[in-house]
Structure 1
Amino acid sequence: MGRTRRGIGALAVVLVTGCTSLTGPAAPPPAATTPAAASGQPSADPEPALTTRPIPEPVQTLPDGMQRSGVASSGEFETNSVSVPTRHSVPDERRLAVQVETSVPESVDGAALLVHQVLESERGWAGWQGIAFSLLPDAEAADLVIHLAAPATVDQACVTLNTAGLWSCRLGPDIYLNVDRWFYGTPTWAEHSIEEYRSYVINHEVGHYLGFGHVGCPAPGRPSPVMQQQSIALGGCLPNAWPDVTGERDG
């Protein structure tokens, strides 16, 4: 069915690539790009319906309002089986795969379709310097792999970055999303939908992959830049999930 599994052993491979910060160097572009038409599917085809699963009740709420799911690590990942071409005619197509840890109660295909929809949105990173994203069911062939994982697994993969069981990180072409944030967001986003928060965290981490670093709130009352650490603090700015709102995509 086009699914692959990647265990904890593969996480060690990621760790030895050398990461010193949440931003790190920009991931190099792929050696060659693949036009959307090469998939043999017209780019106008409708994307399959999203099928993420219901969010489980949290098992713990910390004094600061952060919530935990209690999901344990399995060390094994399942890769999406669906593929979707980019809708954009661009010179730099990045091939994307999504993996969900087998202990995480989430649909891998539903998560993959959501991630792809966010990245291909007209409000997202698609179109920045000629980049677009296609979804393929092969993590080994992908230019970018997004892993949705248990907090302990994220901490192990991001060991030098101190994710502390709470946060997500980017290591080269691999992004590790903490499932607790995927399910519950953060107190800074409490007045907004979890769908918008997921769009934010996807765009934030992929922004690191594209070479963007962290920035602060430009002025109280203004929308936060996507590359602001909105999960931690807003600094007087307003939550914002999209790089087109603040002009980051045009930089």
Structure 2
Amino acid sequence: MTRAARVLLLVPLLAVLLAPPARATTDDPSPRRTTPTPPQQTAEGYAIPVTRRVTYSVVTRGRTTASLAVFRRQAQQTYDDPRGWRAGGVELRRVRRGGDFTLVLSTAGAVPSFSSQCSSQWSCRVGRFVIINQTRWQHASPAWNRAGRSLRDYRHMVVNHETGHWLGRGHASCSGGGKAPVMMQQSKGTGGCSFNPWPLEWEARAVRR
């Protein structure tokens, strides 16, 4: 082999040996900086500070068949949502027992056991008890379903509505179109207003301290 041929063979070998090491790629993103979660915002775009902290526990009444785990989780999601009573500065947190009020998942037949003013057809609030009728929780209401609204939104609405009573809000009405107040008895209809699972701004403002 000639000297020129040997040089030609050594050139690619030297290129491999002298090349910088390739960087490994991985699906593991750590360490990596994360963007902090933005504060909860109102429709006006500013953060509402917590001015009222409320605790609650969850129990059942009657032989319920709905998942209690789902009930607990979705109720807390409703309370955490910045469109809910959190927009009024109210933070609601579940505790194992006791608390400021009791959220109840009740069979329809057991709802009147809280008060003669409660109906087996609807949800109710009596004293410290915020009572969600299991039939409504599982199937919403005829008026809500006729409007084509989702079961998840109904659950937001009924938890917000009955908890709103505990927070001191009475029933509200709606006329002239627009969104219905969450304190309207939307399970029975809205009188031409649009179904709405969240407190309106003036409703949230009314519970601020």
Query: TM-score, length-normalised on structure 2?
Result: 0.70
Q: How far apart in 1 are the matches of 2:57 and 2:78?
A: 14
Partners of 2:118 and 2:51 lie apart in 1 by 36
User: How do residues 17-96 of structure 1 correspond to structure 2 at under 5 angstroms?
Assistant: 90-96=50-56
AA at the equivalent of 2:183: M
Q: CA RMSD in A?
A: 1.9
Higher relative contact order at CA 8 Å, sep ≥6: structure 1 or structure 2?
1
Aligned to 1:10: none
Q: Which residue of 2 aligns with 1:55?
A: none
1:132 has 2:91 as partner: yes
Question: Separation in 2 of the partners of 1:108 and 1:199?
Answer: 16
* Cα offset, 1:216, TM superposition: 0.9
> Which residue pairs with 2:129 in the alignment?
174
Structure 1 outlier segments of 4+, above 6 Å: none
Do the aligned residues in 1 keep the contact of 2:66 with 2:134 (CA within 8 Å)? Answer: no
| 1:188 matched residue in structure 2 | 143
> Residue 155 of structure 1 aligns with which residue?
112
Structure holding more helix per residue: 2
| TM-score normalised according to structure 1 size | 0.59
AA partner of residue 122 (structure 1): P
Q: Which has the larger radius of gyration?
A: 2
**In structure 1, distance between residues paired with 2:62 and 2:183:** 30
Write out per-residue CA displacement over residues 76-116 of structure 1, whole angstroms, 9 at most, x where no aligned residue.
Answer: xxxxxxxxxxxx96342111211134621122222111111
Contact 2:180 2:194 in 1 (8 A): yes
Counterpart of 1:104, as a letter, is T
The unaligned stretches of length 5 or more in structure 1 are: 1-43, 45-87
Identity of counterpart residues, as a percentage?
30
Structure 1 counterpart of 2:153, one-letter code: E
Task: Write out per-residue CA displacement over residues 31-55 of structure 1, whole angstroms, 9 at most, x where no aligned residue.
Answer: xxxxxxxxxxxxx8xxxxxxxxxxx
Q: Can you list the C-alpha shifts for 1:184-242, whole angstroms capped at 9, x where unaligned?
A: 1112111111100010000000111111111111313x111001111112111111000
Do residues 114 (structure 1) and 74 (structure 2) align?
A: yes
